[in-house]
Amino acid sequence: MTKTLFPDGLVGVIFDCDGVMIDSRDANREYYNRILAYLGMPAMTSEQECYAFMATARQALCRILPPHLHACLEQTANAAVNYARDIVPLLRLQPGFLEFIERLHAGGLRMAIATNRVDRGLQTVLDFFALPPYFDPVVTASNAAPKPSPEGTRMICKAWGVAPCRTLFVGDSEHDKTAALGADVVFAAFNGDGLQGHITVLNFVELAQALAGAL
C-alpha cells in the first residue's frame, strides 16, 4: 500500500490534535456544557457536539450560544469555566501515539500539527502531556484559516519544501479530510466513525502497520 500511495517515499506526517493526538471528546463536551449550564441553557445536542468537536472554539460557541452573546464569547467562557483546572485533566493521550511519533522520529520523518485550536489552547495540550519538540511547523486557528480550509496543510508542505504527494495527514473528521485533499495530501482516516481515507485505521498500531513499508 505504501509504495502505491507514496511512490517517491513518505517525508512527513501532519497530525490533527483532538481525536488523533489526544482523546478530548469528553473534555470538550464538559467544557461547552459547563458554559451552557452557567447561562441556564440545556446541554448540547448530539449535532452540536459533533460540530463543536471539529470547529474552532469561537465557531462552536457561536453555534450554541444566542447572538447577543457573540460579542463577548471569550469573557463568557472564562466566567463559566476554568479550562486549565477543570477541563485539561480530562484530556487523554491517544494510546500508542508516543510510540508512533518516536518511530517516525527515529526514521527521520518530519512531523507537524494542523489543528483548529488556537495557539494558547494547543500549547496547553503540549505542556500538559510534556510532548517532545518534534512538531514543526505547528499550524493553528491563530495563524491560518481553520479547517476545512487547506491553507494550513499547504503552509506545512511549503515550510518543509516537500511535495504534497510525499506527505500524510492523519485526521478524524470531514474537516481534516477536506483540508488534506484540498492540498493534494494523502489522508489517513483515524478512528473516524465511518470516515474513509486513502488509509483507514482505528488506532496507531494499525497506522504503523499500514505504513510499514515507509517507516
DSSP secondary structure code for residue 92 in this structure = E
Are 95 and 125 contained in the same domain? yes
Q: Taking every pair of C-alpha atoms in the chain, what is the biggest distance, in angstroms?
A: 56
User: CA-CA distance, 111 to 109, in Å (whole number)?
Assistant: 7
What's the half-sphere exposure (Cβ side, CA atoms, 13 Å) at 67? 0
Predicted local confidence at residue 193, as pLDDT: 81
Q: Do the Cβ atoms of 106 and 8 come closer than 8 Å?
A: no
Predicted local confidence at residue 119, as pLDDT: 96
Q: How far apart are the first and last CA of the chain?
A: 13
Predicted local confidence at residue 16, as pLDDT: 98
Are 101 and 193 contained in the same domain? yes
Which residues constitute the domain of residue 71? 25-90
Beta-carbon contacts of residue 117 (< 8 Å; ≥ 6 apart): 17, 18, 56, 57, 125, 140, 141
Is pLDDT above 90 for 2?
no
Q: What is the pLDDT of residues 168-202, one digit of tens each?
A: 999 999 999 999 999 999 999 999 788 999 999 99
Predicted local confidence at residue 4, as pLDDT: 86
Are 173 and 128 contained in the same domain? yes
Which domain CATH number covers 42? 1.10.150
Predicted local confidence at residue 179, as pLDDT: 99
What dihedral do alpha carbons 48, 54, 58, 59 form, nearest 10°? -60
Are 30 and 7 contained in the same domain? no
Is pLDDT above 70 for 1?
no
Query: For the chain, what percent of residues have pLDDT higher than 70?
Result: 99
pLDDT band at 116 (very low <50, low <70, confident <90, very high): very high
Are 124 and 35 contained in the same domain? no
Predicted local confidence at residue 125, as pLDDT: 94
User: CA-CA distance, 8 to 165, in Å (whole number)?
Assistant: 8
Are 112 and 181 contained in the same domain? yes
Residue 215 lies in a domain: no
Q: What is the pLDDT of residues 14-50, one digit of tens each?
A: 999 999 999 999 999 999 999 999 999 999 999 999 9
Domain count, the chain: 2
Are 111 and 149 contained in the same domain? yes
User: CA-CA distance, 151 to 104, in Å (whole number)?
Assistant: 24
Q: What is the pLDDT of residues 149-163, one digit of tens each?
A: 999 999 999 999 999
User: CA-CA distance, 210 to 162, in Å (whole number)?
Assistant: 21
pLDDT mean across residues, the chain? 96
Are 113 and 146 contained in the same domain? yes
User: CA-CA distance, 156 to 11, in Å (whole number)?
Assistant: 12
Kind and range of the H or E run holding 112: strand 110-114
Are 72 and 131 contained in the same domain? no
Residue where a domain terminates, one of 65, 90, 115 = 90
Predicted local confidence at residue 213, as pLDDT: 83
Which domain CATH number covers 190? 3.40.50.1000
Are 73 and 100 contained in the same domain? no
Predicted local confidence at residue 47, as pLDDT: 95
